[in-house]
Structure 1
Amino acid sequence: MSMPAVFVSHGSPMLILQDLPARSFLATLGSLLPRPTAIVAVSAHWNTERPTVSTAARPQTIHDFYGFPDALYRLRYDASGAPELANRVAELVGAERDPAYGLDHGAWVPAMLGWPKGDVPIFQLSVQPYRSPADHIELGRRLAPLREEGVLVLGSGSATHNLRRLRRGDNDAAPEPWARQFDDWLSEAVEKGDEAALANYRADAPSAREAHPTDEHFLPLHVAFGAAGPGARGKALHRSFTSGNLSMASYAFA
């Protein structure tokens, strides 16, 4: 079984408690894909200088945010880790190992929605904001063999991510033109499998600086794209906006 690689936009931690189209989509993710043997979650919220893999047997739920309702901090995702597979991944990509890091909200929010029973082993692989999108495509390529074993490479970030421009509390606001332009460009580049455009998005994409003032929330997409192998193309699994310019687009690559 060759598992597709997937990128999801995980949005605010509040997504798991809100009635939004993106939440409804993520709640179907497990049914849209073959059942994974394990999940390698590549979260925008774990940034390291060098690639690092979490190897905990029982990863803790990390509440890596503040100022949210108490109900959010009471949530726990009790899936097991996969230390043996995590160590293999470390060998494949030349990564360091972290036995203490758990699951940040970029990992546990989509996992809790897609696999609510917590019965699929999951661990994380970090991103390196100081390295290029092309470097992250290559990082993903090293993970490609795992897909033949039913392992899901799950990139979790955001198709657009500009916190200063969000219209907070206005979930139904129409998307701003710059956000729509970037989101449409991304959909076209993904569906064409345009590796050069994705790697050089800062020069090629309209409104790239507005859509991503920094790279970390976009890099998980590059890892997922790379994990699908050379010549991969993507298809949209979901597209919607919230807060005026936060694209919640998600893609599968094969």
Structure 2
Amino acid sequence: MLDTASLAATPWSDLPATERMPVLFVGHGSPMNAIEDNRWRQRWQALGHELLSRAQPPHLILCISAHWLTPGWRLTAMAQPRTIHDFGGFPQALFDQRYPAPGDPSAARFISQSVLQPGSSLPLALDEGEWGLDHGAWSILKPMFPAADIPVILLSMDDSRPATEHFAIGRQLAPLRERGVLIVGSGNVVHNLRTMRRDAADNQAYDWAIEFDRVTAEHIAQKRLPSLCDFQQLGAVAQMAHPSWEHYLPLLYAAGAVSEDDEPSFFNEGFQGASISMRSVMWR
């Protein structure tokens, strides 16, 4: 097991190579999944136990959340990121949730200098206090890693940029997997809140939602990962599946960080409210 105390004192440029970490894309769905004892949350708990049981568990989590959009790209670089409750209309129990995982300013600086923003020679910008851990991050990480002792860094997204640029940043993030970094994209393969039906069962969904989910799953299963960038070619189906792109884009970062010999495995297949796909995938 990695000695996290000694790693914390080691400059990131000098860290030893580790066993390659998996890559995750997690469908987070409703914020209530963070506290309800449902099958989605139970699978997150089991997955966290599996990852912590590895001979070399993750010592840093880099999360790309659908809920942090910025001009250009930024990394959280504060030592103690705050828990952000970026939603409304939910029970007080959800607002009472805290996830006090530390940040890692040294790692953020290293990653910033290692990854260039597409189309320029600019490094990733650093956010030293404005943001924190939004619910796209903590709602899944708290069930997975309840001890909150693994440092977490968030990477923002510029949703004005083309899909290929998000995938390209994922490619640049891939070497971090050899340094004990668990890369986690948090969004949804299908996400349309306007058409939600709260009375729908997990196996019920609109035809367009099923079709978009199916095509995406086929690209992943057949390792056609660059094809994920062409989702808008599905026309009206894509427009219904994603009236806006932000919940799909985290998948491109995760897919970009995948190596040719990584094998995908799906979990949490199904839908919430007929129009939110909970499909998730681990590559390892």
TM-score bracket relative to the smaller structure: over 0.9
Contact 1:190/1:234, CA 8 A, preserved across alignment = yes
Larger Rg, first or second structure (1 or 2): 2
Partner of 2:68, secondary structure, is coil
Distance 1:231 1:210, change over 3 A: farther
Show the counterpart of 1:41.
Answer: 63
Residues 149-187 of structure 1, C-alpha deviations (whole Å, 9 max, x = no match): 110110001111001011135454712221111111111
Which of 122, 126, 144 is residue 97 of structure 1 equivalent to? 126
What is the rounded CA distance, in whole Å, between the counterparts of 1:191 and 1:120 in structure 2? 30
Partner of 2:185, secondary structure, is strand
Distance 1:18 1:225, change over 3 A: same
Give 1:31 deviation, angstroms.
2.4
Give 1:231 deviation, angstroms.
7.0
What is the rounded CA distance, in whole Å, between the counterparts of 1:178 and 1:32 in structure 2? 34
Which of 50, 53, 60 is residue 75 of structure 2 equivalent to? 53
What is the rounded CA distance, in whole Å, between the counterparts of 1:205 and 1:150 in structure 2? 39
Q: Which moved further from structure 2: 203-212 or 118-127?
A: 203-212
TM-score normalised by structure 2 residue count? 0.85
Contact 2:202/2:270, CA 8 A, preserved across alignment = no
Contact 1:48/1:127, CA 8 A, preserved across alignment = yes
What is the rounded CA distance, in whole Å, between the counterparts of 1:51 and 1:250 in structure 2? 24
Show the counterpart of 1:109.
Answer: 139
Letter in structure 2 aligned against 1:227: A
Contact 1:140/1:227, CA 8 A, preserved across alignment = yes
Distance 1:237 1:24, change over 3 A: same
Contact 1:181/1:206, CA 8 A, preserved across alignment = no
Residues 103-145 of structure 1, C-alpha deviations (whole Å, 9 max, x = no match): 0000101110100111111110001111122111100111111
Alignment of 1:3 with 2:32, yes or no, is no
What is the rounded CA distance, in whole Å, between the counterparts of 1:132 and 1:232 in structure 2? 25
Distance 1:206 1:232, change over 3 A: farther
Q: Which moved further from structure 2: 136-145 or 12-21?
A: 12-21
Letter in structure 2 aligned against 1:142: Q
Q: Which moved further from structure 2: 19-28 or 116-125?
A: 19-28
Q: Percent identity?
A: 39
Structure 2 residue runs of 5 or longer lacking an equivalent are 1-18, 116-122
Which of 28, 50, 53 is residue 46 of structure 2 equivalent to? 28
Structure 1 residue runs of 5 or longer lacking an equivalent are none
Partner of 2:69, secondary structure, is coil
What is the rounded CA distance, in whole Å, between the counterparts of 1:31 and 1:115 in structure 2? 8
Contact 2:193/2:275, CA 8 A, preserved across alignment = no
Distance 1:205 1:113, change over 3 A: farther
Show the counterpart of 1:187.
Answer: 217
Count of residues in correspondence between the two structures: 254
Contact 2:203/2:270, CA 8 A, preserved across alignment = no
What is the rounded CA distance, in whole Å, between the counterparts of 1:91 and 1:40 in structure 2? 15
Letter in structure 2 aligned against 1:140: G
TM-score normalised by structure 1 residue count? 0.94
Give 1:30 deviation, angstroms.
1.1
Distance 1:166 1:68, change over 3 A: same
Distance 1:220 1:172, change over 3 A: closer
Correspondence 1:230-241 to 2 at 5 A: 234-241=264-271
What is the rounded CA distance, in whole Å, between the counterparts of 1:58 and 1:250 in structure 2? 28
Alignment of 1:129 with 2:159, yes or no, is yes
What is the rounded CA distance, in whole Å, between the counterparts of 1:176 and 1:15 in structure 2? 21
